[in-house]
Structure 1
């Protein structure tokens, strides 16, 4: 498996779109830092992190789709999908290596933005408790969005063979998340659930779900949907249509 993951990385390391995805991922924290430096945000550290959390929602759902689409575009645009399937490895194993590589790239992104966020909070006088809560809140938002949106993008890439459409769907999901993230039923939408759960970690009294069972129900939906899409992708990769794949 290590060799397969390494092979996937060799294909992706020259993709400039990954740098674009990293820039998008770091954009919210960069904008908050810039706004604070220019005196636009002069509130307490809690308020500044709240601004960062809200600004991160849109891109937290888009970046996983972009990274996943890049990973599949390498095969589709070069018409190497058939060769990829003909390697002397089981197809699910090849797909697993690709998915793990997609996840590792995004974990590096999240690590960089988390460290940047911690440094920023320290510079504006945040205490240890607030920093710990902010880290938990931020990681729930980023990791939760990464898992469910990557799983969705993998399945869509296998079904549609068109990474442009996959990216458009990702943008649409992000916009829906922005519209519904504060609704009482947001717990039922996985990307909105990660947003609200992250805020609940930051301040449970102010941002908790309307009902006690909302968190559990949202967690179950997130797990079942993410796992279901990955299992569907694993089943689908066994017999895909490999000829004349769209870009």
Structure 2
């Protein structure tokens, strides 16, 4: 979340969430409906993450559900997939709950595959690989990484999501998968920031062409 304290972020975001709800409670002019829904998706998703980290799980689930509904009404699968990934990340990095994280990330992958954003699809496959690696499922992790590399190489200019996910971030996921290729048990909130996950790394440069195992050609296969 950067240098802004979580409490301040919640205070700043609360009026935006409430404004979205009030605006959508009435009839909106057709030209602005989509814009308001897009703002609502972003606001509800971030609010869901903040309330989760504040240990208000019920409110967090409600906000993520609202964000998912709003994204579905927009008709852009990549938006709904992004909501699922956010939910997966907070579940994985705050709770170490692999079972629920896999449910959310699998939803994200299924949804992203029906959309037009190759970057969101790559990000979903990368997160799927990371979760599989943490569960000790090396083959599944490598398969998901291979799909992520395919998506990255297949991307074109003008991705509708505006996502900055890149080969550099994918390489970071691959490195984490190598060090996480062993089972991890859930054990309550960890205090780790979801930003450390597949969606939160800085771009560290172009990647090499992957081989059939989803890693750059010539690299060693990660050990289990």
What TM-score, normalized by structure 2, do the two folds share? 0.31
* Bigger Rg, which one: 1
What TM-score, normalized by structure 1, do the two folds share? 0.28
Name the structure, 1 or 2, with higher relative contact order (CA <8 Å, separation 6+).
1
